[in-house]
Structure formats: structure tokens, C-alpha cells
Amino acid sequence: MSARFAPAKVNLFLHVTGRRGDGYHLLDSLAVFADVGDVVSAEDAETLSLEIGGPFGAVLRAEDDNLLLKAARLLAPGRGAALGLEKNLPVASGIGGGSADAAAALRLLARLWGMTDVDLAPLALQLGADVPVCLVSRPVRMQGIGEILVPAPRLPAFGMVLVNPGVAVPTPAVFKARAGAFSVPPALPAAWAGFEEMIAGLTACANDLEAPAIGVAPVIGEVLAALGALPGAALARMSGSGATCFALFETAQAARAAAALIARPGWWCWGGGLYQPGQARL
């Protein structure tokens, strides 16, 4: 059996820049990946199956519309494999858990089935707007509907605290609640030399879905206030369409210490640094 780590995606900013004729919104976002995530496994089998476990596994069921099964059928219809999912991330939480799982499944199955020459990016986009960036799993600027990936500014090392209040926020409801003009894509440098410079640059940006998400789930505002009050928190913001929010810290150690202070019943909390692709985890 082979396994792959599926890290959480965090949108450091998210601007809604327009809307296509088919209704899809155009986005501009700087995505990074936290050193926390799900684990996807795969091994040879005659039929396709999925077994789900982990802290948030009970929320999911191995139905036909599960993204891992969709990824397998899209890559090679009719092929068999025994898939496993250790679900450590909250479901429908704005940190790309399902998308990261689908991306990990594509990579695992392509290797398992000897399809390493297949271009996975177009398949990833068919599975969802966040799947292409999760296929990369490193800091990147995502634009369009998620299919345009361009280099991110070179980032300094930093830490973050993630908090989800246990409320699933439907993405369509958040977009429906969004009002006002579309945003202009910000001009980003090739690199941020240090933490303070990065925070200044990110502060000039926003998450355009934050206000409408708070309207849908007011507890998000409570989470943001709690994060912003943590010692050493330099920036508190919502990720994606919510409800997970984050605060940025100068070091991963500071973030881990802060996460212990904010923990409360019903809230999923994590603190640490960024995921480093290629590091030995499994």
C-alpha cells in the first residue's frame, strides 16, 4: 500500500475579480499549504472501493459522489483500487480538504496504474476549482476559476493558527450573499524579504468572501476576534469561503503556543508551519 499526505490549503487573500458568462466567478488568491492534512492511501484491487476513517471520517460516506472515487473513475474508468482516507481536516471548511484528497488520489493512482505520463492538471480542474492548486501543494497564486497557476512571491518562514468552529458553510450560499463591485488583482512583489513586509503586503489585500460568510455564519466573526487577540498574531483572516480562519505568526513555534490558548469545545484548532513538499512524513 502507498500513501500520500494531503495538506490543508490556506488562502492568504482571496479577491473576486469577475464572473464568466457561465456563472463561474473569477478569483485571484495566494494559496499556501499548512503542515496538517488528511492521508490518502491506495493499493491494487479488482474493484474500486473507499474506506474512510480519522477524526472527521464519520461525516463522510463512501458514496458514488465522493471526490476520491470520482478522481479514480475520471483517471481510468473501470480500474480497481482499494482507497483509504484518514480524514483529519474538518469537512466543507474552506481549506480544500476534499480537493487535497482528490489531488492526492490522482497522484497515487497514476503511479499505481502506471499512468505517470498522463497530464493530471486538466483532470484536476474537472474535479473542482481547488484541485489543480492542491495538485501542486506549494505556495502559488491561483487565478481564473482555479486553472491559472502562477508563481507566488518568495515567502519568509512563518507560522499559522487554524481554527474551525465546527460549522460547515456552503460555498454557493456565500457567493450568493456577496455584494458590491469586483476587486482588482493586487500587484505582488517577486519576494517578501521578511515577515513584517509580507504582513504589510497581505494587509493591503482581503478575502472578499469574509463579510458574506459572516452573514451566513456569524460565529466566523467570533473566531476572527479570538484569533486577532492572540499574543503575536499579526494578521487574522478567513480562508476560502469559510468557516476556517487563520492567524499568522512570525514562527511555527509561536503559532503552536498560540493554538493551545485558543482551544475551546467544538472548535478544531491547529498551530504550526507550512508544509514542505518532499519532506518525509509517511
> Annotated active-site positions, please?
9, 130
CA dihedral angle for residue 262, residue 137, residue 243, residue 220, rounded to 10 degrees: 50
Is the link from the previous residue into 206 a cis peptide, with omega within 30 of 0?
Answer: no
Give the bridge partners for 51, in sequence order: 84
Length of the chain: 282
Tell me the residue type at 71: A
Q: Which three cell numbers stand for residue 27?
A: 478569483
Can you tell me the distance from the alpha carbon of 103 to that of 108, in angstroms, rounded to the nearest whole number?
9
How many other CB atoms are found less than 10 A from the CB of residue 24?
14
Q: Are 59 and 91 in contact (CB under 8 A)?
A: yes
